[in-house]
Amino acid sequence: MQFWNFFKKININDTIIKSIIFNTIIEIFLNEKKIDIKKYLISIKINKNFILIKTNKPIITSELLLLNEKIINLLNKKFERLNFDISKYEIKYK
């Protein structure tokens, strides 16, 4: 499991990664749509090949799909400081 070994090596755990992803999604949604979606985000799961973001409203999920490129670009900038390449993982919304 290279993914977890990498986190141990640079001393980052999955909670920090999830928090960065959560805050980035909220930030982009507030900037683009002027809506706070904190109550609609249910969970963020990190797997070996992908990151799964769950919401409890299908309309929010579809909006996230539309904003996916902006989310990925901002995540790349944030994780660049941590020397973590988020582009290796596919982001899925459910």
Residues shown for the chain: 94
The confidence score (pLDDT) of residue 6 equals 55
The per-residue pLDDT for 1 is: 52
What pLDDT was estimated at residue 8? 52
Residue 15's pLDDT is 84
Q: Are 82 and 27 in contact (CB under 8 A)?
A: no
Per-residue pLDDT of the chain (94 residues; tens, 9 = 90+): 565 555 555 556 788 889 999 999 999 999 998 988 999 999 999 888 889 999 999 999 999 999 999 999 999 998 888 777 787 888 999 9
* CA 40 to chain CA mean position, Å: 14
